Structure 1
Amino acid sequence: MSAGLLLVGASGLAREVLAAGITGVVGILDDDAALHGTEIGGVPVVGGIDDAAARDEQLLVCVGRGAARRAVVQRLRDQDVTAERYARYVARSARVGDTSSIGPGSILLDGVVVTADAAIGAHAVVMPNCTITHDDVLEDYATLAAGVALGGGVRVGEAAYLGMNAAVRQGVGIGAGATIGMGAAVLDDVPAGDTWAGVPARPLRSHR
């Protein structure tokens, strides 16, 4: 496998990753043909997403919302792109405890703190200055916006999204595909697909 790295998605997240100081990026893949041949953060856009299957670099999917990342990974899986192709990125200023784990394709940006025995799944995105404490679980494709704080033993379901500066009490579960609003204080379990906001957080609507 090539030592190079391709970012998948010419997005704001891709620019965040580049700004955080990632090394070895040789190109960006995006389906917007108007971007092909241009540069994002000094890195060339070298083709569309499906071109990943014919290349051998490692990949990092930089698409903002978890459901969209999941769709890209499934699309590439259908072209026989395996989990081994995906890199992990942990910014130099992030701190991850020795007993915590990070799955393939996941991104942890500047100032993130992960303490003891936390498990971060595949293709999760943790934006700057988040705190993930003991025994927390982030399932695949979960997204924490900047400044999110999780108490101990929190479980964040697949493709759930937590908005900026949200806080989740210890032991609470956030269901798959749920959305938590900015600055919310989550004190109770959030069902899959629900949108909660406020202090304390309350349901706004359900997508189930």
Structure 2
Amino acid sequence: MADRKELVIVGFSGFGREVYLLATRLGIKIRGFLDDNVDNHGKTYGNTVVLSSVDRWTDYSDCEFVVAIGNPRVRKRVIEAMEVRGRPSYATLIDPAAIVHAEHVRIGNGSVICAGTICTVDIEIGDHVIVNINCTVGHDTVIGDFSTVAPIVAISGNVSIEERVEVGTGASIRQGISIGAGSMLGMGSVLTKSMPAQTVYFGSPAKLIKNISE
């Protein structure tokens, strides 16, 4: 880890602080946080300071970044706004307590895999994806860019999750089905059929609750 760049965490919310602990477990030196809430500027967490707003990321362009914002749509907007100003280098963080078979799992730039999660084989996880604690991801599953998988989610094999999807805590997804881009699966739901894009499903079995716009 000695030659690894320092890390800047974008977001000082609860998940940002969880990513802080994950990074320290990996032995990564953290330069600080960036957050657009000016009331947080100058605050510290574990002796690490909230440096400034996100648009000042170029002041720390010698660092790597991880955008620790749980909402997929907000996370995408923040990353797009950062990239208007340049080309940040993104860190991919895998907790040492996760089980990820590196030769069988592809994980994109800026993604975070949290403690207790198990990824089996022939899995593709896109860029800027969050897979939270104690999840299982089955064989031949694809998780699209900017998606968020909340804690204790069970994803069976051959599942296709498109970009900007949010899967709520404790949800279960049957094998061989798909979730369209921008959709949300409610916490505790059991998904037994594919979800179209831009929809919200909830329940056991999960049913359409409403359509949502971009």
Percent identity reads 33
AA partner of residue 100 (structure 1): V
What displacement does 1:88 show?
0.4
Is 1:80 matched up with 2:86?
A: yes
Is 1:53 matched up with 2:52?
A: no
Contact 2:143–2:160 under 8 Å retained in 1: yes
AA partner of residue 172 (structure 2): A
Matches within 5 A, 1:38-187: 38-55=43-60, 56-82=62-88, 85-97=89-101, 98-187=103-192
- State the distance in 2 between where 1:41 and 1:134 align: 38
- State the distance in 2 between where 1:189 and 1:202 align: 10
Coordinate RMSD, CA, aligned: 1.4
AA partner of residue 180 (structure 2): G
Match of 1:196 in 2: 201
- State the distance in 2 between where 1:91 and 1:59 align: 16
Bigger mean CA offset, 47-56 vs 87-96: 47-56
AA partner of residue 91 (structure 1): D
Give the secondary structure class of the aligned counterpart of 1:54. Answer: helix
Normalising by the residue count of structure 1, what TM-score does the alignment of the two structures yield?
0.95
Spell out, residue by residue over 1:18-75, the C-alpha distance to the aligned partner (whole angstroms, 9 max, x if none).
2333421110011112211111343211111011123221000011111111001100
- State the distance in 2 between where 1:74 and 1:19 align: 26
| Structure 1 gaps, min length 5 | none
Normalising by the residue count of structure 2, what TM-score does the alignment of the two structures yield?
0.92
Give the secondary structure class of the aligned counterpart of 1:153. Answer: coil
Give the secondary structure class of the aligned counterpart of 2:12. Answer: coil
What displacement does 1:137 show?
0.5
- State the distance in 1 between where 2:180 and 2:150 align: 17
Give the secondary structure class of the aligned counterpart of 2:146. Answer: coil
What displacement does 1:2 show?
7.4
Is 1:17 matched up with 2:23?
A: no
Contact 1:2–1:57 under 8 Å retained in 2: no
- State the distance in 2 between where 1:49 and 1:146 align: 26
- State the distance in 2 between where 1:6 and 1:171 align: 37
Spell out, residue by residue over 1:86-109, the C-alpha distance to the aligned partner (whole angstroms, 9 max, x if none).
000100100111211100000011
Q: Paired residues, what number?
A: 206
Give the secondary structure class of the aligned counterpart of 2:36. Answer: coil
Give the secondary structure class of the aligned counterpart of 2:86. Answer: coil
